[in-house]
Structure 1
């Protein structure tokens, strides 16, 4: 038996954050350790070279003033002061033959090391060089100076004590880096756990949210702006879900109610015909009734689907130039006889000038027809309907004002919902889709459809359509 549930990750966000922090701290400690070691070694070499340069310059001054005798005395004093194992001093002839040497008995293989030393070419300018490998106990730094008469002065110092000092410092740095890495990783884990505590709290609350308790929102516990934003987003999602569920329930009830009536009529017509005399005329009447109700059902379904497509952005809008002046005047002429039957005055207040805009002419005509039909339906006999239109540089606006009973302020927005019928319209024919269809088409054109009660009586529906299609702005 297989499951469609995706496998759960075994790594938590907190563990991943801790791992990333640990990697970052490791790289940081490694870079800092290498940088500090490099700087420390460079400074040590500079200080040693400065010391060697000063000492060998002093040897050269003694050689120039006191000769080999004075230099030999200086060599002995240096060896006695620092120890023969710590340093060596030499004076070489111009052909590199030793003329004066300090005690070098403790320096194993020194002659072989010194044979590889380069001879300075510029007099009185010391050259520096390392002797022996760094791990050797004889590792040394030496300076070679060419005197004015061509002799070579060599002075070297064993670096063993300096190397041990640097190694101690490096070990201290490594131990400090490891401790820092451990403490920082632990701190990162604590911070990550605290940061995710709010998310865990939201997750627990979400897991206990029941479908029958969507009105119970999560409290803001002030665990950080991001967590508060997450709580607000979740509460907003719950509110939208609850609103959608209520809307679906209401739409379902309205659909069931509007579909039940024609189906009941068709069933009643069929039962009456089958129970009556078996004559052709009753069957014709039944067929006519069934066709009429089927057309009504088809119209309801088609309009519902068209509204759904428009609200989801899937409705195809053909944008061709529309002369709104001609469209509105033609619609007024079409509804004029219907208005006259109720003794209603249809007043058209549009300047005789082209009002051109891009749009789907057929659907805009249906919008105007729905609004005019709605106005005539609720305007009492002897009333007046005003059809007006204006334009500016950005949009075209047309309005239809009636003299009906007006709209309850609590129902102002709900009248545009699918299948919604206010208290004033319960007794009149209709399915509650006309205004919803009108707004969805206007919105699909990038416009707005609003309603407001008139100061005296009735209400005004105003549609605003842009002169530039929304996708080209």
Structure 2
């Protein structure tokens, strides 16, 4: 069921982007408009003060005194700041109360004319104000009257146009914020869409597809990690299906031999000769060994594979495992050698399990080494602790099979686990890793194979 667009994360991101942008733009617009009007009014006040100063000076120069002065009402006009009407440009003298934003005081600080707050002739003692000079003589003082200067029609039109421009700019910026929000939300959510498609493909068991775009940010790292996980899950699913098929095959073959032989004996077709009974016993042992190996690996997977580790002399364990194969090597015409450089070295080992690892590796090496070849077991100290390897001069393993030789029941033309249950190398890997070590294989086709594993040693000699 497709969810409504207004409930999607893209819509919420876009809305949040727009709201934040609108709040920021509204704040900036309000502050800009208020600041513009305030500064413009301050400019009008300063112009009014300059004009009034010029009027007072002109009036005093013409009349000799400031008495009887009346300011020109209305905003100052260019060209009328220094000279006025009567006698050399004195301004007109309207009667009544003045609405000027500045009050003129004479030299004795008495109001020259009336305002709504101060009557004519009232003495004003406040020290604030601007002195009006004519020559070297103070003829008047200017103080704020408390009346705000009102802008004229053209000034109001200017302020209105300025506020309108700020408003349109805010509207355009908000529209741009909407577009940017849509673009940013699409850019941010595209990796999530790819991740969602990948999850659905994973649920369907499909192989992962390469991302449409390669990103180098955190989303790219998440997509890359999910892609690797998807591949691992698909490989695990395929391996599980292949493992099930291989186990069924390996169990079916000996069981078919046992069942067919027993039916033939019961029907009287075959006689229960010692040879036939021996073959049935071998097939039964094969099935039993396979079941035991699977149980061993299941314990390792569940983390319940317990190792009985105790300080053990390494050289004695290796020589004991090699001794068991000396007769087999002699019968096959293969030289079995040891190169042990660990005299007196002790390590915490499960003797039974490590012997099992060595026997599996020696059995594989002898199986794939032709007569006249050699199998060499070496042991020494390496960067990761105790280093043990089994090298042969056999047929080798193809490079395409090397990454999979430790997989369970892996079948390859030259894979080392094709003899027996097919789980030998997997068991070796589980045992070595349970000891805290690592195992690996190197091989050259036609020249031989080397299986090496390392085991940690205690920090101090045991």
Among residues 427, 431, 443, which one is paired with 1:452 in the alignment?
A: 443
1:260, CA displacement in angstroms?
2.2
Partner SS, residue 35 of structure 1: helix
Partner SS, residue 301 of structure 1: helix
Among residues 92, 98, 112, which one is paired with 1:100 in the alignment?
A: 112
Whether 2:297 is the aligned partner of 1:304: answer yes
Partner SS, residue 73 of structure 1: coil
Aligned equivalents of 1:417 and 1:13: distance in 2?
Answer: 43
**TM-score normalised to structure 1 length:** 0.65
Q: Where does residue 27 of structure 2 map in the other structure? A: 31
Aligned equivalents of 2:129 and 2:205: distance in 1?
Answer: 98
1:189, CA displacement in angstroms?
2.6
1:400, CA displacement in angstroms?
0.7
Partner SS, residue 298 of structure 2: helix
Cα separation, partners in 2 of 1:111 and 1:422, compared to 1, 3 Å? closer
Aligned equivalents of 1:61 and 1:358: distance in 2?
Answer: 110
Among residues 136, 156, 166, which one is paired with 1:173 in the alignment?
A: 166
Q: Is the 8 A contact 1:322 1:357 kept in 2?
A: yes
Q: Where does residue 415 of structure 1 map in the other structure? A: 405
Cα separation, partners in 2 of 1:360 and 1:6, compared to 1, 3 Å? farther
Partner SS, residue 180 of structure 1: helix
Deviations 1:336-355 (A, max 9, x none): 45545555432110124355
1:371, CA displacement in angstroms?
1.0
Q: Where does residue 251 of structure 2 map in the other structure? A: 259
Aligned equivalents of 2:310 and 2:67: distance in 1?
Answer: 109
Cα separation, partners in 2 of 1:198 and 1:369, compared to 1, 3 Å? closer
Whether 2:380 is the aligned partner of 1:384: answer no
Whether 2:104 is the aligned partner of 1:111: answer no
Cα separation, partners in 2 of 1:412 and 1:259, compared to 1, 3 Å? same
1:256, CA displacement in angstroms?
0.3
1:441, CA displacement in angstroms?
3.9
Deviations 1:31-55 (A, max 9, x none): 3213323542553355355446546
1:8, CA displacement in angstroms?
9.2
Partner SS, residue 174 of structure 1: helix
Q: Is the 8 A contact 1:306 1:315 kept in 2?
A: yes
Q: Where does residue 87 of structure 1 map in the other structure? A: 100
1:384, CA displacement in angstroms?
2.8
Partner SS, residue 413 of structure 1: helix
Cα separation, partners in 2 of 1:421 and 1:164, compared to 1, 3 Å? closer
Partner SS, residue 389 of structure 2: strand
Q: Is the 8 A contact 2:56 2:69 kept in 1?
A: no
Whether 2:410 is the aligned partner of 1:397: answer no
Q: CA RMSD in A?
A: 5.5
Aligned equivalents of 2:341 and 2:24: distance in 1?
Answer: 76
Partner SS, residue 399 of structure 1: strand
Among residues 418, 428, 433, which one is paired with 1:438 in the alignment?
A: 428
Among residues 14, 17, 41, which one is paired with 1:18 in the alignment?
A: 14
- Whose helix fraction is larger, Structure 1's or Structure 2's? 1
Partner SS, residue 386 of structure 1: strand
Q: Is the 8 A contact 2:408 2:423 kept in 1?
A: yes
Aligned equivalents of 2:23 and 2:397: distance in 1?
Answer: 70
Cα separation, partners in 2 of 1:382 and 1:225, compared to 1, 3 Å? closer
Aligned equivalents of 2:215 and 2:281: distance in 1?
Answer: 68
Partner SS, residue 421 of structure 2: coil
Q: Is the 8 A contact 2:45 2:101 kept in 1?
A: no
1:460, CA displacement in angstroms?
1.8
Matched residue pairs, number?
423
Aligned equivalents of 2:361 and 2:140: distance in 1?
Answer: 115
Among residues 68, 72, 75, which one is paired with 1:72 in the alignment?
A: 68
Deviations 1:83-110 (A, max 9, x none): 98762554568998x64215x5xxxxx2
Partner SS, residue 442 of structure 2: strand
**TM-score normalised to structure 2 length:** 0.67
Cα separation, partners in 2 of 1:120 and 1:461, compared to 1, 3 Å? same
Q: Where does residue 40 of structure 2 map in the other structure? A: 44
Cα separation, partners in 2 of 1:92 and 1:85, compared to 1, 3 Å? closer
Deviations 1:45-85 (A, max 9, x none): 55355446546766887899889833533635687499987
| 1:90-169 matches, cutoff 5 A | 90-91=103-104, 99-101=111-113, 110-111=116-117, 120-121=126-127, 153-155=143-145, 156-161=147-152, 165-166=158-159, 168-169=161-162
Instruction: Decide which moves more: 347-356 or 264-273.
Output: 264-273
| 1:184-263 matches, cutoff 5 A | 184-189=177-182, 192-193=185-186, 214=207, 217=209, 220=212, 240=232, 243-263=235-255
Partner SS, residue 177 of structure 2: helix
Cα separation, partners in 2 of 1:47 and 1:211, compared to 1, 3 Å? closer
